[in-house]
Amino acid sequence: MRVQLRMGSLRLAPKFINLRADSLAGMGVLAHETRCGAKSVLLGGVLLMGLGCVSAPQVEAPVDYRYFERPAPGEAWSRKIERWQLREKRDHTRSELAAVSSATVDSRVDATPDSPSTELREKYESFRAAQRQDLARGLVEWIQSQALDHYIEDGAIDHWATFEETLQTNGDDCDGLELLTFHLLRDLGFGEENIYRAVVYRRSDDQHHMVTLWFEDPSDPWVIDPTGAMTKGMRKMSELPDWAPVKVFTEDRDYTVLNRLRISG
Ligand SMILES: [Ca+2]
């Protein structure tokens, strides 16, 4: 006897997956009603592990999906999707407002200590932060290894290459290689508002250098050094007191860094 598997509304047609009923019973498959109302079969972890033991899916006909077709007028799924889109955009806007203001916008969005949503929100943000740091550390390791092969000294004139020039010439000095980390961090979703190019200066030997700064903490950014001249690993600016930031900029922003302690003193 063969049975058809369904997971929620996602049907696994018999032509793709066929399992013997006695095999399913042996692997703890339970039939139940989903919230979507479809008669379904719940696959537990045991079954998912066991799938590797059954025969390969039988594909009877090739498929050629067109993924981006316009929905038919009045399509039920589209109405459901549209309602979710409106709520998602509304909540996202409210979350952004809550992030820049302590004012409560909506009790469901405002994460008070007693809110049932606090725990998952904190887990999400903590995991995201850890993943970003791991990603950035991996990037530092990668770019510094690439610098060994692609560091090219400027001539008599200090030239700041564009990103495209750096790629076309197969390398550059620190200000060209830095563009790889500057662009890559933004491409990976670190947020343009958090990633800047920076000119840094070391007074002891009158040396200037170019690094990327990741402002995870607005007051003390991570230093992403393309060549390792300033730091081998990923460290905070405050951990490198021999160096001072001078300029912070992007393609369309330009800021001068002032030492507030020196100004107030
Ligand atoms: Ca250069």
> How far away, in angstroms, is 225 Cα from ligand 1 center?
15
Whether residues 129 and 254 share a domain: the answer is yes
What does the pLDDT read at residue 114? 55
- At 101 the pLDDT is 65
**94 within domain boundaries:** no
Distance (Å, rounded) from C-alpha 15 to C-alpha 61? 9
- Compare 144 and 101 and report the one with higher pLDDT: 144
Let me know if residue 6 belongs to a domain. yes
Ligand 1 center–CA 147 separation, angstroms:
13
Q: What pLDDT is recorded for position 201?
A: 96
**130 and 260 share a domain?**
yes
Residue 116 lies in a domain: no
Tell whether 143 and 256 lie within a shared domain. Answer: yes
On whether both 32 and 163 belong to a single domain, the answer is no
In angstroms, the CA 68 to CA 125 distance is 32
Please write the tens of the pLDDT for every residue from 1-32: 343 444 333 344 444 334 343 443 334 333 33
Residues 44 and 158 in one domain: no
Q: What is the CATH number of the domain that holds 248?
A: 3.10.620.30
Same domain, 150 and 245: yes
Is a pLDDT exceeding 50 seen at residue 133? Answer: yes
Please state, in angstroms and as integers, the Cα–Cα distance from residue 98 to each residue in 92, 93, 192, 221, following that order. Answer: 10, 9, 20, 23
Rounded to the nearest angstrom, the distance between the alpha carbon of 157 and the centre of ligand 1 is 9
Q: What is the mean pLDDT of residues 134-147?
A: 98
Mean pLDDT across the chain: 78
Which residue has better confidence, 219 or 59?
Answer: 219
> Are 230 and 144 spatial neighbours (Cβ–Cβ below 8 Å)?
no
**Contact in structure between 212 and 250 (CB atoms under 8 Å):** no
Domain limits for position 251: 125-264
Whether residue 160 sits in one domain with residue 44: no
Domain membership of residue 58 (yes or no) is no
Measure Cα distances from 148 to 71, 142, 226 in Å.
52, 10, 10
Confidence check: pLDDT of 52 > 70: no
Would you say residue 177 lies in a domain?
yes
Percent of the chain, pLDDT > 70?
69
Q: Are 181 and 139 in contact (CB under 8 A)?
A: yes
Q: How confident is the model at residue 265 (pLDDT cuts 50, 70, 90)?
A: very low
Do 132 and 14 have their domain in common? no
Q: Do 43 and 129 fall into the same domain?
A: no
Residues 259 and 129 in one domain: yes
Q: Determine the distance separating the centroid of ligand 1 and the alpha carbon of 138, expressed in angstroms.
A: 24
Distance 153 CA to ligand 1 centre (A): 7
Cα(184) to centroid of ligand 1, in Å?
19
Let me know whether 30 and 157 are in one domain.
no
Q: Which two tokens stand for residue 234?
A: 């990923």
Rounded to the nearest whole angstrom, what is the distance from the C-alpha of residue 151 to the centroid of ligand 1? 10
Q: Are residues 48 and 134 in the same domain?
A: no
Residue 236 lies inside a defined structural domain of this protein? yes
Residues 91-105, mean pLDDT to the nearest whole number = 67
Q: What is the pLDDT of residues 155-192, one digit of tens each?
A: 888 899 999 999 999 999 999 999 999 999 999 999 99
**Number of domains making up the chain:** 2
In a domain, 40, yes or no: yes
* Domain annotation covers residue 105: no
Which band of pLDDT confidence, cut at 50, 70 and 90, is reported for residue 61? Answer: confident
